[in-house]
Amino acid sequence: MKYRIGIDLGGTNIAAGVVSSDFGIVAKTSVPTARPRPCRDICADMAAAALKAVELAGLSPDDIGSVGVGAPGVVNSEEGIIEYSCNLDFYNEPVAEYVAERLGKPVYLENDANAAAYGEFVAGSAKGTHNAVCITLGTGVGGGIIIDDKIYSGFNFAGAEIGHMVIEVGGAECSCGRRGCFEAYSSATGLIRMTKEAMDAHPESKMHEMMGDHISGRLAFNAMREGDAAAKEVVDRYIKYLAAGIANTINIFQPEVLCVGGGVCNEGDALMVPLREAVANEVYSKRSAKNTKIVRAALGNEAGIIGAAFLGLQRQKEQ
């Protein structure tokens, strides 16, 4: 089939897109997730969004080969079940079955970070590789791992939780309950927390007059560009922790490419240039002839839809 459907199930919105065989999104739509509510109701809306995207693309359901869903939480991709998702309040819900009932197509289910990583692998910054890691810097730190062309999720489907390795023993509390997690320091949430701490310690900082209505993840970078010393300390500290987590990840997996995505990456060279330099000084393989390339993710918010759409292709490779 020339077309597949990818669905990105988020805590706020459900996004669905029709994706062509050359990985282009032909049409997409979104509806509110409106959680909390029963799984069957949310699955009905996923199916309806998928059909709306098909209509917008000027196609019929007969043109669709398969459907993929990327969802938050511990996702049993073999059984098509969300075993646990705190964002959706789902426990052992057969999501693939519910969606398939309404669409009459094969439905594949995967963790959303894994689906996004697969999108970058088939069509984005990791295209052409066989081994890659994708890290997303958002409210948390998401991770997706590709080994030998296939998504790696561990024997219990809870693997690739890169954000929950500890990089500062006894450090800041993480949402998972541990202290000092990579996520607690390298997420946008962690950057905002460190910015607030610096502002409290430095009332003379330009960050106070530049903050506007709220403190964002961009504030420290913007103030640093204006020559603010306290802001530069925040940015330097943030990059130090980010580099530590990325170097740890590279030391474990040695991927060909490590993609970094999320809103923080919009800082461009102000983030990526010093980050690459810091990681180069920390990785075990720095004297090797081959080293991991650290690149910005290319697909943005579309990675989840594209990756989910081609989960059927992933499953074929596993068989």
Residue pair 70/301 in contact by the 8 Å Cβ criterion: no
Residue 141 and residue 107 in one domain: no
Whole-number mean pLDDT of the chain? 92
Residue 100 and residue 199 in one domain: no
Residue 24 and residue 138 in one domain: no
CATH of the domain at 147: 3.30.420.40
Tens digits of per-residue pLDDT, 247-281? 999 999 999 999 999 889 989 999 999 999 999 99
Phi, psi of 4 (to 5 degrees): -135, 160
Residue 79 and residue 140 in one domain: no
pLDDT of residue 319 exceeding 60, the answer is no
pLDDT of residue 2 exceeding 70, the answer is yes
| Distance separating alpha carbons of residues 156 and 100, to the nearest angstrom | 24
Residue 229 and residue 306 in one domain: no
Tens digits of per-residue pLDDT, 63-87? 999 999 999 889 999 999 999 888 7
Range of the domain at 115: 3-122+302-318
Q: What percent of the chain has pLDDT over 70?
A: 98
Tens digits of per-residue pLDDT, 33-69? 988 899 999 999 999 999 999 999 999 999 999 999 9
Residue 61 and residue 179 in one domain: no
Q: Of 131, 153, 64, 147, which is closest to residue 293 (Cα–Cα)? A: 131
- The confidence score (pLDDT) of residue 316 equals 65
Residue 186 and residue 249 in one domain: yes
pTM exceeding the 0.85 threshold for the entire prediction:
yes
Residue 315, CA distances (Å) to 48, 50, 78, 239 in order: 24, 21, 9, 37
Residue 140 and residue 79 in one domain: no
Residue 48 and residue 147 in one domain: no
**Number of independent structural domains in the chain:** 2
- The confidence score (pLDDT) of residue 24 equals 92
pLDDT band at 309 (very low <50, low <70, confident <90, very high): very high
